[in-house]
């Protein structure tokens, strides 16, 4: 069976788009991969957990160097994003493009299974030749400088949903890359493909391009349908369908377009709106909780365990921790345990949602309140021979987050592995610059490529706990769990303390840097669950961003002066220019405009 990509194309992101994506995901077969093909203003957009998103911008489309027929994607150039996806993912035999306002009244797999043995290079609806509809407005958009096709041989299609082959997309890319070739996709695609000998068919209406036996199987139409607006067909340009009227029809596995998802609710609730920032975060929370019934309980499969450990407190117990933990339980590769430490004083604040997650493998343990250190020190004492992975309670972790940590760990068994790190900058006296002047979110290949080979400096790596860190057993100095020391020297600087305790244990690391940063890991693109909370008065970020880290680092260096010898391995940063990879602590999520 041919491997296929399903692209759900949209320029808006709202409740319906998410539900349409998840419905498709549940109803397609295992040989299909689903993507949300999403137009955004900024490619830093992070989709909710469970949505495989391929974001693109107008600027990205412009890099294809195709000629559009207008200055906007609509009208006529929304095949560009399909070609962009193909060029980034040329591994599929077929690509389905489905606009978000297409609705299949039935089970999607019925449609896909019906066509799985069809080998046509292009399948769409309402295929017609130029002589049948010479008045169609978009014939004149077709300009082909390098191909000579008589107008009488032009063919048009209606493309809210279509399937196209890998070979056909490769040919289209070649044609559009040649200067002077352009046209509305509903004229360009069927015309140039048919002329070049590719097979072009209607997937289930009427007419000469419909395969025998497929008449009126995918959508309803007839010979008296208006062939400009397709009025009278279930696949039409105008007027719109309302979802309520479709759902009242017998379910007969037919396509409908365009569908507006307006229900019989009060008027002020009828509109589909592009969601704002606060709505986005609440939507993602709802989708994350929706994953809980699908989670399989954790099982201990390793004699030496891999344990994810975190802590939470206060409002975070309700506002963020459950959502972070769902994503930790929903990893592609499962840990042996997920342990959540909560101070005994806050036992009564534990929400039912967290208790519900214990049936999926979460262990809730009560302890002394040692602030953020709860995430690691008690797990170290309890599981001295196991690998411990720390995580935070206020971010969503992608499904391959743990898998990437394990993969890097297997190549570096006695190293501390992290997704996110800063690069320590040292002055000419080998004293650290202020923390906020360090290099942020370093990526190994780019970061170390700016330093000459003899000054390659893994010693400058400073892991950041937010991204997740894997610690092997025995990697810390003996003082790691000394509560009186860490609460006195760095009461709000657990990252500093954990870094220092690793650096001090040079016998374990044989004099080398203890740390490895994952290449192409989750350094920059982890989404905070509640960014407003991150900058709240009680947040560590708020204290440490105002110089708290510098005070605590000085305390630790003064108490353990031998760490300064380790820092002397770092070349002073006087005139050295490193790549500016700073990103703000909170992602700015952009929302799409309706006017395209």
Residue 275 has pLDDT above 60, yes or no: no
Whole-number pLDDT of residue 520: 78
Q: Is residue 86 part of a domain?
A: yes
pLDDT single digits (tens) 578-588: 333 333 333 23
Encode 361-374: b = buried (16+ Cβ within 10 Å), e = exposed. Answer: bbebeebeebbbbb
Structure-block tokens of residue 310: 């975190």
**Segment (H or E) for 5:** strand 4-10
**Average confidence score pLDDT of the chain:** 85
What's the CA gap between 393 and 528, in Å, rounded? 9
Q: Is residue 280 domain-resident? A: no
One domain, residues 515 and 421: yes
Do residues 328 and 453 share a domain?
A: yes
Which tokens sit at 112?
Answer: 């896909």
**Confidence at residue 50, expressed as pLDDT on a 0 to 100 scale:** 82
- Would you say residue 588 lies in a domain? no
- Choose the final residue of a domain: 245, 267, 289: 267
* Domain presence at residue 287: no
The whole-angstrom separation of Cα 500 and Cα 477 is 8
For the entire predicted model, the pTM comes to 0.56
The token pair at 372 is 């953020």
pLDDT for res 364: 98
- Say if residue 8 is in the same domain as residue 64: yes
Residue 540 has pLDDT above 60, yes or no: no
In a domain, 576, yes or no: no
For 29-150, list the strands marked E by DSSP: 32-39, 53-56, 94-99, 103-105, 122-129, 143-144
Q: Are 429 and 343 contained in the same domain?
A: yes
Residue 83 CB-density burial (10 A; 0-12 exposed, 13-18 middle, 19+ buried): buried
Residue 432 dihedral angles phi and psi, to the nearest 5°: -65, 140
The answer on 411 and 344 residing in a single domain is yes
Could you tell me if 375 and 504 lie in one domain?
yes
Are 355 and 247 found together in one domain? no
The residue among 257 and 243 whose pLDDT is bigger is 257
Per the structure block, which two tokens stand in for 212? Answer: 């025998």
pLDDT in tens, 63-92: 898 989 887 787 889 999 999 999 999 999
Residue with tokens 């069927």: 190
Angle made by CA atoms 367, 370, 376, in degrees to the nearest 5: 75
Q: Assess whether 250 and 337 both reside in one domain.
A: no
User: In the predicted model, what is the mean pLDDT of residues 251-270?
Assistant: 62
User: Is residue 181 domain-resident?
Assistant: yes
Strand-pair category, 387-390 with 306-311: parallel
Considering just the CA atoms, what is the radius of gyration of the chain in Å?
28
Same domain, 497 and 389: yes
Regarding whether 343 and 246 lie in a shared domain, the answer is no
- If one counts the domains in the chain, the total is 2
pLDDT, tens digit (0-9, with 9 covering 90-100), for 123-160? 999 999 999 989 898 999 999 999 999 999 999 999 99
Instruction: Give the residue among 229, 258, 255 at the shortest CA–CA distance from 124.
Output: 255
Calpha distance 416→582 (Å, rounded): 23
* Span 356-414, pLDDT tens digits: 999 999 999 999 999 999 999 999 999 999 999 999 999 989 888 999 999 999 999 99
At residue 545, the pLDDT reads 57
Based on the fold, state whether residues 31 and 177 are members of the same structural domain: yes
The 3-class SS string of 237-286 reads CCCCEEHHHHHCCCCCCEEEECEECCCCCCHHHCCCCCCCHHHHHHHHHH
| Residue 594 pLDDT level (bands cut at 50, 70, 90) | very low
Dihedral angle sign, alpha carbons of residues 554, 555, 558, 561: negative
The answer as to whether 582 is a domain residue is no
Do residue 225 and residue 82 come from a single domain?
yes
Domain that holds residue 527: 299-567
For 179, the token pair is 């200067």
Distance CA 311, CA 410 (A): 26
What pLDDT shows up at residue 485? 97
- Neighbour-count burial of 189, counting CB atoms closer than 10 A to its CB (0-12 exposed, 13-18 middle, 19+ buried): buried
Distance CA 165, CA 171 (A): 10
Query: Which of 243, 267, 291 is a domain's end point?
Result: 267
Question: Is the Cα dihedral 118, 120, 122, 126 positive or negative?
Answer: negative
Asked whether residue 578 is assigned to any structural domain, the reply reads no
Question: What CATH number did the domain enclosing 136 receive?
Answer: 3.90.550.10
Weakest-pLDDT range from 180-184, 287-291, 572-576: 572-576
State residue 343's pLDDT score: 98
């Amino acid at each position: 069976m041919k491997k296929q990509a399903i692209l759900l194309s949209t320029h808006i992101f709202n409740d319906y788009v998410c539900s349409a994506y998840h419905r498709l995901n549940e109803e397609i077969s295992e040989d299909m991969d689903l993507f949300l093909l999403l137009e955004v203003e900024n490619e830093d957009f992070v989709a909710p957990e469970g949505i495989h998103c391929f974001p693109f911008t107008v600027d990205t489309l412009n890099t294809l160097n195709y000629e559009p027929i207008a200055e906007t994607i609509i009208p006529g150039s929304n095949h560009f994003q399909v070609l962009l996806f193909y060029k980034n993912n040329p591994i599929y035999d077929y690509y389905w493009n489905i606009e978000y306002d297409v609705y299949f009244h039935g089970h999607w797999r019925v449609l896909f299974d019906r066509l799985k043995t069809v080998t046509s290079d292009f399948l769409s609806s309402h295929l017609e030749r130029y002589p049948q509809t010479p008045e169609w407005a978009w014939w004149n958009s077709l300009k082909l400088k390098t191909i000579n096709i008589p107008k009488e041989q032009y063919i048009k299609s209606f493309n809210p949903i279509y399937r196209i082959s890998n070979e056909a997309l490769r040919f289209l890319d070649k044609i559009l890359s040649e200067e002077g070739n352009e046209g509305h996709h509903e004229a360009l695609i069927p015309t140039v493909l048919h002329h070049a000998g590719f097979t072009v068919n209607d997937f289930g209406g009427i007419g000469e391009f419909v395969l025998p036996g497929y008449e009126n199987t995918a959508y309803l139409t007839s010979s008296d349908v208006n062939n400009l607006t397709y009025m009278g067909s279930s696949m039409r340009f105008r007027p719109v369908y309302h979802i309520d009227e479709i759902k009242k029809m017998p379910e007969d596995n037919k396509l409908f377009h365009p569908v507006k998802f307006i229900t019989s609710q009060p008027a002020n609730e009828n509109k589909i709106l592009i969601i704002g920032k606060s709505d986005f975060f609440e939507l993602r929370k709802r989708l994350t909780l929706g994953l809980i019934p699908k989670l399989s309980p954790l099982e201990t499969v390793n004699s030496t365990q891999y344990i994810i450990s975190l802590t939470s407190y206060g409002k975070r117990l309700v506002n963020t921790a459950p959502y972070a933990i769902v994503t930790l339980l929903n990893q592609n590769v499962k840990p042996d345990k997920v342990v959540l430490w909560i101070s005994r004083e806050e036992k009564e604040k534990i929400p039912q949602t967290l208790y519900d997650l214990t049936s999926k493998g979460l262990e809730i343990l009560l302890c002394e309140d040692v602030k953020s250190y709860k995430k690691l020190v008690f797990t170290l004492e309890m599981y001295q021979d196991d690998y411990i992975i720390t995580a935070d309670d206020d971010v969503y972790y992608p499904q391959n987050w743990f898998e990437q940590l394990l993969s890097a760990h297997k190549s570096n068994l006695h190293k501390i592995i992290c997704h996110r790190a800063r690069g320590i900058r040292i002055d000419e006296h080998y004293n650290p610059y202020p923390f906020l002047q360090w290099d942020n979110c370093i990526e190994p290949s780019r970061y170390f490529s700016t330093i000459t080979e003899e000054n390659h400096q893994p010693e400058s790596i400073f892991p950041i706990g937010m991204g997740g860190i894997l610690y092997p057993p025995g990697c810390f100095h003996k003082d790691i769990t000394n509560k009186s020391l860490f609460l006195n020297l760095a009461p709000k600087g657990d990252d500093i303390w954990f870094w220092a305790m690793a650096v001090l244990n040079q016998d374990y690391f044989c004099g080398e840097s203890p740390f490895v940063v994952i290449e192409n890991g989750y350094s920059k693109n982890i989404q905070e669950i509640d960014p407003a909370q991150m900058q709240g008065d009680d947040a560590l970020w708020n204290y440490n961003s105002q110089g708290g880290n510098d005070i605590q680092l000085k305390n630790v260096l003064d108490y353990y002066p031998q760490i300064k010898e380790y820092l002397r391995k770092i070349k002073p940063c006087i005139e050295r220019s490193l790549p500016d990879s700073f990103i703000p602590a909170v992602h700015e999520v952009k929302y799409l405009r309706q006017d395209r």
